[in-house]
Structures are given as structure tokens and as C-alpha cells.
């Protein structure tokens, strides 16, 4: 199969005008100018996307597919109040409801050109939805408790689930990891139990870290709405918590999580230079979730400082419950503009840099860059085509700027994973979002009560 377009963005090399990509099976065979590929591969089926950009699929470093049905239900609240409201509503959903909600999330990921997700789930619904839809990903089994007597048992149950999830897969598109939720929901004994269980293996580990000022105040000073109202709502009011006097990063550091080889920290908004030095020293990867952080009033992560210290950083959309959409173009655009606004001319980010963060750097954060993240012979055929022909996009001078500054999820013409087409010019090939709509309305009725 020979895919052609006005622009090809390999990411690992300069963009090509009037270029193409040759795909055979699950791999990329060749990338180059249109004329050269047509001459070298005369018998290949040709699909020409015209005024469009062929590029690697997006790597979404933080998702919660199963929360998609909560889109717009709890809006216009700051982080802690939002978290508490969502937690109350979660209890109204059945296992089937979570499964359907995750299917909706998988549909939107495909629509947005996302080919790889790093998803945190307790129920496992995201695993089943991503697997069925044909997405690539790391699925983390979430675990949390502030009850020290429950810590080891919770981790043991999570490990049992992880083994069962791995046994359900017959391919290597999806890996299973573990996610101790975060400092305000995990007793130190739980962090230690996770660290001991993972040990020297390369198991993927993720945690929410330093996301909000409330979290920072709870960990360091022992007082905040998270430390009082949320703990009471979660049934942990009787569990003793002593202020630590340190930041969330330096607190978590004490319990062995950073000693693990494949750790992804989500948010990292409320960090200082010493925190960043710790994260860099232990090679902790960062998921930058700009829209979620802005919408919930969490603040803005110091992306420039992360990159200056050599941290592995990519972009995450978080969940539609917090971010409303999984539109990866909007995520890139907002993330870029927020950083420009904060930093001014110092360290001025370009659209091309954000394309890298969304592809090869996201893959590097998951240690999957040997497989995905760029268009190169031998890599997996995780490819998207983005339409650049609309009135709000032409004339097109710089394809990187056009993708970041003018495109949206409705402009995705092709989403391909492992050489398998998941979306082809509006037609979903592995899912049926229309069939979900009636059921989704019923679930929304449950949530709204």
C-alpha cells in the first residue's frame, strides 16, 4: 500500500513535499518523494490524500477512556470540588456502563488521530475498549488506599488483575502496568508495596503527581480540602496523616517509586527546581496535560524547565470528564499557546516542537520509540492523514503550523495502527459510535439522577 499526500512529516527527518509512505503488513517499508516511490513500487495500491499531511499517529500520554460519558456533567469547578463531585457520581454506573463509556473514548481517540494511549483504569474497561478498537497502548491498573492495613492487599489484587489482563491479550499492541493514584490517595505503605512488587522489572508505572495546589498543601502542610473533605468522603477520615514538610515530588521520592525503571508522572504542575532535579535524576517521564490543568484551575506545568533538564516529556489529554474532548490538535494548540504566553520570547516553542512532543517524544516517554513515533522503515505503521484543504487552512505554507494551529479532530482522514485502518475518511472500521448513542443517553440519565 502506497499512501500519498502533499506533505509527509516523518518527524525524525525534515518534512517532504509531495511525498508518500509504503506500508506492508504492520510495518513501514519506505518513506520518500512521490515520484521516487511510484517508480520503486509500481505494483502497490495507491491511496492519495491530496492536500493533507501524513504523519505518525499521536501518542496520548494520559487518558481515562472509561470516563468519557462524564463529558460536561461536572463543569466549571476547580480541581478538588470537581474531583469530589465526580467521585460521588461514579457510584451510579454499572460495569456495563463503564464498558460503554470506554468504547466512546476509544472512538474519539481514533477520530482524533490518537494511535497510542497511556490509560489509567480501575475497572479494566479501557483495556477491553482499546483492544477491541485496535489501538496501541499501555493500560495501567489503578490502585489506591490511605488505609495502611489495606495497602499490601490492594496491590496484590491489582497484580492479580494485571496478570488476568495480560492473559486476555494475544498480541503485543498493549502492555499492562500499574498506577498508584497519587499522594493524596495512597498511603506510603502502598507506594512501597508497588515499588517492591515491580522491583527491577520494566513494568510500566504511572502516578498523578503535584497536580494541584490543594495536593501540594495537603502533602506539605497537612491541610486542604483534599486533606479534609475528600478524605472524609473517601472513608479515610480516621486515618492519621501528618504533614510532611516537603513537596509531593520529594514525598513520593522517599518510598521507592522513582527507583523503578519505567515511571510516568502525570501533571507535575506544582514543582520547583529541586523537584525537577529529582525527576531528572531518576529519569521520570512527564505527561503534560495543558487543557485539563487550565480548565480545572490547577496551574501550568513548567514544560521548558523539564526539557532543559533532559526529561522525557509528552502530551496527555486526560479524560473527557476533566477536559471535555480528546481533540489532540486542541491539546497541542493550547499547550503551545499557554507556554508562549508564560515564557514570552525566552524558550519560544514552535509548532514543530509540539508535533515532536505529540509523537516521538511521547513514544520515548513510554520507551516505545524504537517501534513508533516517527515514519521510518522498519517501524510500525501507526500513521494518520490530516486534511489541510479547508478554507481555514489554505494557503498552507508550513505544514507543522497548519497541523497545530488550524486543524481539529474532524480533519483526520486516516487513522492506522499496525497497518490496520481504524478510520478511513469518516468511516470507522473497527467501532460503531452511532450504535452507542442511545445507550449513552441512558447512562447520562443515571449520572444526572
We report the CATH number of the domain holding residue 101 as 3.20.20.140
With respect to residue 448, please indicate whether it lies within any of the assigned structural domains.
no
With respect to residue 281, please indicate whether it lies within any of the assigned structural domains.
yes
Give the per-residue pLDDT at 345. 87
Q: What is the C-alpha to C-alpha distance for residues 78 and 228, in angstroms, rounded to an integer?
A: 16
Q: Is the pLDDT of residue 449 over 80?
A: no
Task: Express as a percent the part of the chain with pLDDT over 70.
Answer: 100
With respect to residue 449, please indicate whether it lies within any of the assigned structural domains.
no
Q: What is the C-alpha to C-alpha distance for residues 291 and 240, in angstroms, rounded to an integer?
A: 34
Read off the pLDDT of residues 163-190 as tens digits, 9 standing for 90 and up. Answer: 999 999 999 999 999 999 999 999 999 9
Domain shared by 206 and 301, yes or no:
yes
With respect to residue 445, please indicate whether it lies within any of the assigned structural domains.
no
Domain shared by 31 and 108, yes or no:
no
Average pLDDT, the chain: 95
Domain shared by 402 and 357, yes or no:
no
Ordered alpha helix ranges (H), 168-312: 188-198, 213-221, 231-233, 248-253, 273-281, 290-295, 303-308
Location of C-alpha cell 520518500: 32
With respect to residue 370, please indicate whether it lies within any of the assigned structural domains.
no
Where among 341, 365, 389 does a domain terminate? 365
Read off the pLDDT of residues 309-325 as tens digits, 9 standing for 90 and up. Answer: 999 999 999 999 999 99
Determine the number of helices (DSSP H) and then strands (DSSP E) in the chain: 18, 17
**Residue 227 DSSP one-character state:** I
Domain shared by 12 and 99, yes or no:
no
Range of the domain at 40: 2-55+380-433
CA 322 from centre of chain: 13
Domain shared by 67 and 178, yes or no:
yes
Read off the pLDDT of residues 27-43 as tens digits, 9 standing for 90 and up. Answer: 999 999 999 999 999 99
With respect to residue 446, please indicate whether it lies within any of the assigned structural domains.
no
Quote the number of domains for the chain: 2
Domain shared by 191 and 302, yes or no:
yes
Give the per-residue pLDDT at 317. 98
Domain shared by 340 and 211, yes or no:
yes
Domain shared by 166 and 66, yes or no:
yes
Domain shared by 192 and 287, yes or no:
yes
CATH of the domain at 414: 2.30.40.10
Give the per-residue pLDDT at 439. 85
Task: Identify the band that residue 437 occupies on the pLDDT scale cut at 50, 70 and 90.
Answer: confident
Q: How many CB atoms lie within 10 A of CB 343?
A: 15
Give the per-residue pLDDT at 164. 97
Q: Is the pLDDT of residue 441 over 90?
A: no
Task: Identify the band that residue 397 occupies on the pLDDT scale cut at 50, 70 and 90.
Answer: confident
Q: Is the pLDDT of residue 242 over 90?
A: no
Domain shared by 287 and 400, yes or no:
no
CA 168 from centre of chain: 22
Domain shared by 108 and 213, yes or no:
yes
Read off the pLDDT of residues 80-119 as tens digits, 9 standing for 90 and up. Answer: 999 999 999 999 999 999 999 999 999 999 999 999 999 9
With respect to residue 371, please indicate whether it lies within any of the assigned structural domains.
no
386: β partners: 53, 412
Which DSSP string do the residues of 326-359 spell out, in sequence order?
A: --HHHHHHHHHHHHHHHHTTTT---HHHHHHHHT
With respect to residue 31, please indicate whether it lies within any of the assigned structural domains.
yes
Domain shared by 230 and 126, yes or no:
yes
Amino acid at each position: 500500500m502506497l499512501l500519498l499526500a502533499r506533505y509527509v512529516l516523518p518527524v525524525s527527518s525534515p518534512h517532504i513535499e509531495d511525498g508518500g509512505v509504503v506500508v506492508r503488513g504492520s510495518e513501514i517499508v519506505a518513506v520518500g518523494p512521490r515520484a521516487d516511490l511510484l517508480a520503486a513500487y509500481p505494483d502497490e495500491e495507491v491511496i492519495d490524500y491530496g492536500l493533507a499531511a501524513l504523519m505518525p499517529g499521536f501518542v496520548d500520554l494520559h487518558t481515562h477512556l472509561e470516563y468519557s460519558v462524564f463529558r460536561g456533567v461536572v463543569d466549571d469547578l476547580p480541581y478538588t470540588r470537581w474531583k469530589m463531585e465526580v467521585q460521588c457520581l461514579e457510584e451510579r454506573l454499572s460495569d456495563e456502563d463503564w464498558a460503554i463509556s470506554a468504547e466512546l473514548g476509544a472512538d474519539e481517540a481514533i477520530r482524533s488521530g490518537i494511535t497510542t494511549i497511556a490509560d489509567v483504569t480501575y475497572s479494566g474497561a479501557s483495556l477491553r475498549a482499546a483492544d477491541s478498537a485496535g489501538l496501541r497502548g499501555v493500560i495501567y491498573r489503578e490502585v489506591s488506599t490511605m488505609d495502611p492495613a489495606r495497602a499490601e492487599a490492594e496491590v496484590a489484587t491489582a497484580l492479580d488483575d494485571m496478570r488476568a489482563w495480560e492473559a486476555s491479550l494475544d498480541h503485543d499492541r498493549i502492555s499492562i502496568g500499574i498506577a498508584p493514584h497519587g499522594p493524596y490517595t495512597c498511603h506510603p505503605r502502598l507506594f512501597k508495596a508497588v515499588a517492591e512488587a515491580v522491583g527491577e522489572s520494566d513494568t510500566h508505572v504511572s502516578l498523578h503527581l503535584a497536580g494541584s495546589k490543594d495536593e501540594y498543601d495537603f502533602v506539605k502542610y497537612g491541610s486542604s480540602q483534599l486533606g479534609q473533605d475528600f478524605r472524609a468522603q473517601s472513608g479515610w477520615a480516621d486515618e492519621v496523616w501528618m504533614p510532611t514538610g516537603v513537596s509531593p515530588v520529594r514525598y513520593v521520592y522517599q518510598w521507592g517509586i522513582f527507583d523503578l525503571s519505567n515511571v510516568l508522572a502525570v501533571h507535575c504542575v506544582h514543582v520547583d527546581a529541586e523537584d525537577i532535579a529529582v525527576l531528572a535524576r531518576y529519569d521520570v517521564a512527564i505527561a503534560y496535560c495543558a487543557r485539563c490543568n487550565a480548565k480545572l484551575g490547577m496551574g501550568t506545568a513548567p514544560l521548558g524547565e523539564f526539557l532543559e533538564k533532559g526529561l522525557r516529556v509528552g502530551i496527555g489529554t486526560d479524560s473527557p470528564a476533566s477536559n471535555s474532548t480528546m481533540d489532540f490538535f486542541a491539546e497541542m494548540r493550547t499547550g503551545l499557546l499557554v507556554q508562549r504566553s508564560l515564557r514570552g520570547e525566552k524558550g519560544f516553542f514552535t509548532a514543530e516542537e509540539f508535533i515532536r512532543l505529540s509523537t516521538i517524544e511521547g513514544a520515548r516517554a513510554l520507551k516505545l520509540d524504537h517501534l513508533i513515533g516517527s515514519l521510518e522503515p522498519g517501524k510500525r505503521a501507526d500513521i494518520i492523514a490530516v486534511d489541510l484543504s479547508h478554507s481555514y487552512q489554505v494557503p498552507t505554507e508550513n505544514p507543522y503550523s497548519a497541523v497545530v494551529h488550524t486543524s481539529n479532530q474532524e480533519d483526520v482522514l486516516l487513522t492506522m495502527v499496525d497497518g490496520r485502518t481504524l478510520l478511513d475518511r469518516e468511516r470507522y472500521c473497527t467501532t460503531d459510535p452511532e450504535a452507542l448513542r442511545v445507550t449513552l443517553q441512558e447512562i447520562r440519565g443515571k449520572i444526572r439522577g
